[in-house]
Amino acid sequence: MISFLKIKDRLFYGWVIVIAALIIGTLTFGIRNAFGVFFKSLEGEFGLSRAMTSGILSIHLVVGTVFIIIGGWALDKYGPRILTFLMGLFTGFSLILTSQASSPWQIYMSYSFLLSLGAGPAYSVLMATVSRWFNKKRGLAMGIASIGGPLGQIALAPLATYLILNIGWRTAFLVIGVIAGLTVMSLSVLQRKDPSKIGTLPDGDKAKSGETAMLKDDQKTGRPPAGFSMRQLISMRVYWFLWLTGLFQGFCLFLVFTHIVPYAIDMGISAMSAAVALSLMALISILGRLIAGFISDRIGSGITSIFCASIMAVALLWLIWSHNIWMFYLFALVYGFAYGGLNPVILTLIADIFGTSNIGVIMGTLSVGFALGSAIGPFIGGLVFDINGSYSVAFALGATTILLGAFFLVLVKRIINPSS
- Residue 233: Cβ within 10 Å count: 18
What is the reported pLDDT for 199?
Answer: 67
Q: Is residue 61 part of a domain?
A: yes
Residue 232 near residue 225, CB atoms below 8 Å: yes
Confidence of residue 299 (pLDDT cuts 50, 70, 90): low
Query: Residue 6 pLDDT more than 70?
Result: no
Domain count for the chain? 1
Query: Once rounded to an integer, what is the mean pLDDT over residues 10-16?
Result: 78
Q: List beta partners, residue 134.
A: 203
What CA–CA distances, in Å, run from 268 to 140, 235, 256, 260? 40, 50, 18, 13
What is the reported pLDDT for 346?
Answer: 74
Query: Once rounded to an integer, what is the mean pLDDT over residues 132-161?
Result: 77
Q: Is residue 237 part of a domain?
A: yes
Q: Is residue 358 part of a domain?
A: yes
Confidence of residue 7 (pLDDT cuts 50, 70, 90): very low
Q: What are phi and psi of 375, to 5 degrees?
A: -80, -40
Residue 278 near residue 37, CB atoms below 8 Å: yes
Confidence of residue 203 (pLDDT cuts 50, 70, 90): low
Q: H or E element: which one contains 63? A: helix 50-78
What is the reported pLDDT for 68?
Answer: 76
Furthest C-alpha separation in the chain: 64
Query: Residue 236 pLDDT more than 90?
Result: no
What does the pLDDT look like over 254-271, one tens digit per residue?
A: 898 888 888 888 888 887
List the Cα angle 128/353/314 in 5-degree steps. Answer: 85
Q: Is residue 203 part of a domain?
A: no
Query: Residue 169 pLDDT more than 80?
Result: yes
CATH number for the domain that contains residue 160: 1.20.1250.20
Residue 398 near residue 316, CB atoms below 8 Å: yes
Query: Once rounded to an integer, what is the mean pLDDT over residues 34-44?
Result: 82
What is the reported pLDDT for 417?
Answer: 66
What is the reported pLDDT for 231?
Answer: 73
CA distance 197 to 281: 38
Query: Once rounded to an integer, what is the mean pLDDT over residues 171-195?
Result: 87
What is the reported pLDDT for 178?
Answer: 93
What is the reported pLDDT for 300?
Answer: 62
Which range of 153-167, 207-221, 315-329 scores highest in mean pLDDT? It is: 315-329
Query: Residue 218 pLDDT more than 50?
Result: no
On the CB side of 103, how many CA atoms lie within 13 Å of its CA? 2
What does the pLDDT look like over 351-371, one tens digit per residue?
A: 777 766 667 677 777 877 887
List the domain range (segments joined by +) for residue 348: 2-196+216-416
Q: Is residue 63 part of a domain?
A: yes
Q: Is residue 206 part of a domain?
A: no
Q: Which of 36-45, 211-220, 243-252, 407-416 has the lowest mean pLDDT?
A: 211-220
The dihedral built from the CA positions of residue 114, 120, 122 and 125, taken in this order, carries a sign that is negative
Higher pLDDT, 95 or 412: 95
What is the reported pLDDT for 251?
Answer: 92
What CA–CA distances, in Å, run from 405 to 120, 362, 396? 22, 19, 14
Residue 87 near residue 123, CB atoms below 8 Å: no
Q: Is residue 209 part of a domain?
A: no
What is the reported pLDDT for 352?
Answer: 73
Residue 383 near residue 51, CB atoms below 8 Å: yes
What does the pLDDT look like over 101-118, one tens digit per residue?
A: 888 888 888 888 888 888
Confidence of residue 207 (pLDDT cuts 50, 70, 90): very low
Q: Is residue 202 part of a domain?
A: no
What is the reported pLDDT for 418?
Answer: 58
Query: Once rounded to an integer, what is the mean pLDDT over residues 130-158?
Result: 77
What CA–CA distances, in Å, run from 398 to 109, 248, 285, 312? 28, 8, 18, 9
What is the reported pLDDT for 396?
Answer: 92
Q: Which of 66-75, 198-207, 377-386 has the lowest mean pLDDT?
A: 198-207
